Structure 1
Amino acid sequence: MNLLLKGRLCYLRILTTEDAEEMVQLLLRNRTYWAIFEPQHRDSYFTAAVQREKILESIHQAKENREYSFGIFEPETDKLIGHISMYSIKRLPFLSALVGYSIDESYIGRGIATDAVKLVIAFGFEKLRLHRIEAYVSPRNAGSIRVLEKAHFNNEGLLREFLYINGVWEDHYHFAVLESEF
């Protein structure tokens, strides 16, 4: 599957098995930083073999129109600097999906995540013909909240004790953007 979305600050490309080693390096560089808001992973997660399997599964999911996992790449260097997924894609009567993303810590604050989210939203509304795209975000994650707001998501409320992260049940905001707001 060859899917490329070009933005102002980055481009998104469906990951291939050839990206597995670079994905491992991205994950290792950000292991501590991303663990603040994401569940911790076993050491085996940070191997090319596991990442290849995850990529193969995501390619299969994309062929079934159930999930799209993209690498976020820096245009000047083609370096993998993050990942973004549109997942839990539901057909009628919902026509909805969730979006989740992570950016390399050394690239935050540059508008890259916002650019990537806007690219995925356009893909969701224009190509997948979705009606609603949602995201969950920790109330402590001010940067990610700003990304969603800049991408025209609205905060629809607090989900109490929503995700179990690092031994604690964490609240999350529920954000969404509608096709009519795109």
Structure 2
Amino acid sequence: MFISRRAKHLVPYLASERLLLRQLTARDEAEWINLRYANAKWLKPWDPTSPLGPPESMTFREMLRARDESAIDGSGYSWALALPQLHRGRPPLIGQVSVSSVQYGAARTASIGYWIDRNHAGFGLMPEACALVIDHCFEQLQLHRMEINIRPENAASLRVVDKLGFRDEGLRKDYLHIDGQWRDHRTFALTREELKTPMLERIYEY
């Protein structure tokens, strides 16, 4: 199993009534690649690209290694999504949620990114997954502010931040290179002080 003990310790399992968030391992390679391939058209308008042209493809193991390095140095974390209650044994993957650009010191902030299998979209699973990650970041990592950046055309993702109760902080012009071009994004944010109860409780009450 390709995952360092230290990184595994730093990134715990997270679970709600429906979801299990866990680390990807080398055993997941074929399933993860097949899931991404099956959702390629669905995810293409929202996937990041390089303004310098197509980079050399990263292998699955290289992706795991980069993820472990980020977890060890505290700059980023990532979880795969699974639905254990619907499957016996090892539940299949349905998506991923990540925390990136983690800053400590005076800022204590980070950004959340996510994607989900098209067949599982629209059932409130991604807000639930984000809620687990937000609670972990506020309570365990002691971060102060969480941010989500979304293309204005991405209606499904806008529904996620609406359910999470994030504030709209406005438009960022040409903020990220997505699907081959620099794209505008709307920035949504929430501080720890604004969240009076755990985010997961807010989602269940929505």
The TM-score, its normalising length taken from structure 1, stands at 0.91
Tell me, in whole angstroms, the C-alpha distance in 2 between the residues paired with 1:40 and 1:24: 18
Kept in 1: contact 2:81–2:97 (CA 8 A)? yes
Q: Corresponding residue for 2:166? A: 153
Match of 2:184, SS state, is: strand
Amino acid at match of 2:136: F
Tell me, in whole angstroms, the C-alpha distance in 1 between the residues paired with 2:43 and 2:140: 30
Q: Corresponding residue for 1:79? A: 92
Q: Corresponding residue for 2:199? A: none
The superposition leaves residues 38-69 of structure 1 with CA deviations (integer Å, 9 ceiling, x where unpaired) of 13596974xxx711210121022112221111
Aligned Cα RMSD in Å?
Answer: 1.8
Q: Corresponding residue for 2:70? A: 61
Structure 1 residue 154: deviation in Å? Answer: 1.0
Structure 1 residue 167: deviation in Å? Answer: 3.3
Q: Corresponding residue for 1:117? A: 130
Q: Corresponding residue for 2:198? A: none
Report how many residues are paired.
179
Matched, 1:167 2:176: no
Structure 2, unpaired ranges of 5+: 1-7, 196-206
Structure 1 residue 166: deviation in Å? Answer: 2.8
* Bigger mean CA offset, 58-67 vs 92-101: 58-67
Amino acid at match of 1:101: Y
Amino acid at match of 1:30: N
Tell me, in whole angstroms, the C-alpha distance in 1 between the residues paired with 2:166 and 2:28: 30
Tell me, in whole angstroms, the C-alpha distance in 2 between the residues paired with 1:103 and 1:160: 26
* Bigger mean CA offset, 34-43 vs 8-17: 34-43
The 1:39/1:61 distance shift into structure 2, 3 A limit, reads closer
Percent of aligned pairs sharing the same letter: 33
Kept in 2: contact 1:62–1:68 (CA 8 A)? yes
Structure 1, unpaired ranges of 5+: none
Kept in 1: contact 2:49–2:180 (CA 8 A)? no
Q: Corresponding residue for 2:110? A: 97
The 1:67/1:167 distance shift into structure 2, 3 A limit, reads closer
Q: Corresponding residue for 1:8? A: 17
Whichever structure has more strand as a proportion of its residues is: 1
Q: Corresponding residue for 1:143? A: 156
Amino acid at match of 2:161: L
Tell me, in whole angstroms, the C-alpha distance in 2 between the residues paired with 1:21 and 1:44: 20
Structure 1 residue 94: deviation in Å? Answer: 0.5
The 1:178/1:79 distance shift into structure 2, 3 A limit, reads same
